[in-house]
Amino acid sequence: MKKYFFIVFVPVLFIFNVLAAEPELIVIAGNDKIMLGEKIELTLLIKDNELDNIVKSENYQITAKPDNILIKFEIKPDKIGKLKIGPYKINYQGNIIKSDVIEIEVTENIPVEENKILIEISRVVKSHSIVVLNINSSKFDLTDVLLPESAFYKVIGSTSSSSMEIKQGEMKKNYLKNIEIIFLKKGKFTVNASIFKNLPEFSIIDEVTIDIE
């Protein structure tokens, strides 16, 4: 027997169990406080041990497993303040699964320390020699960040990586990108956000000035 569901309203944040009996609805998200303009990815988990079929949707990323359905989507608040979200309702096999109403805090887009992308490069370098420019972040994946070539330098290559470490009892992830370049001219050169492409939204880069001899 095929089972179907449809989505009725916009969902909630936090992790909580909405329905005690089968089937269950669980809502999963990361934060209860975000900056204006930021997006939050939410996941709805429908647990049903007798699940055998689902309806596909173009508006949501839906994954079916033997005993659950994962529904992923994003919301983007458009005003500052306390934002009430919910209730989220799903009509599943004739039963309405309903979430509570919760609040998230939407703040102004104020630069914060964790949004910084750090630049590491020698302050004095030789022209026509290979120089390594490192950028790293504790928040943003830097894989897609590009440094386009210019008349001032040539890009030789780049690599991206990530690592995990424990700080103050918490697991922290660090993202790193190494870019090899050759400066073609002597003088002063400033590394700032304007020279990169595909920087993550809300990321911050402090300027670094280099002397090229």
Edge-to-edge strand list for the sheet holding 33-35: 33-35, 102-107, 81-85
Distance, CA of 98 to chain centre: 27
pLDDT at 132: 95
Domains of the chain are 5-107 (2.60.40), 113-212 (2.60.40)
Cβ-Cβ contacts under 8 Å for 189 (sequence gap 6 or more): 152, 153, 183, 209, 210, 212
Token couple for 104:
């998230």
Instruction: Report d(CA 96, CA 9) in Å as an integer.
Output: 12
In this structure, how many other beta carbons lie within 10 angstroms of the beta carbon of residue 11? 24
What are the helix (H) ranges across the chain? none
The Cβ of residue 189 has, within 10 Å, a number of other Cβ atoms equal to 18
Beta strands across the sheet bearing 187-191: 124-125, 208-212, 187-191
* Residue 200: cis peptide before it, omega within 30 degrees of 0: no
Tokens of 148: 């386009």
CB 124 within 8 A of CB 180: no
Separation of alpha carbons 138 and 172, rounded Å: 7
This prediction has a pTM of 0.51
pLDDT in tens, the chain (213 residues): 454 544 444 443 333 334 334 667 666 666 777 777 777 776 767 766 554 444 444 455 555 555 667 777 777 878 888 877 767 777 777 777 776 677 778 887 666 777 889 999 999 999 999 999 999 998 888 999 999 989 899 999 999 998 877 766 666 788 999 999 999 999 999 999 999 999 987 788 989 999 999
Measure the CA–CA gap between 164 and 207, rounded to whole angstroms: 27
Determine the 3-state secondary structure of 24 from DSSP. Answer: strand
pLDDT, position 83: 78
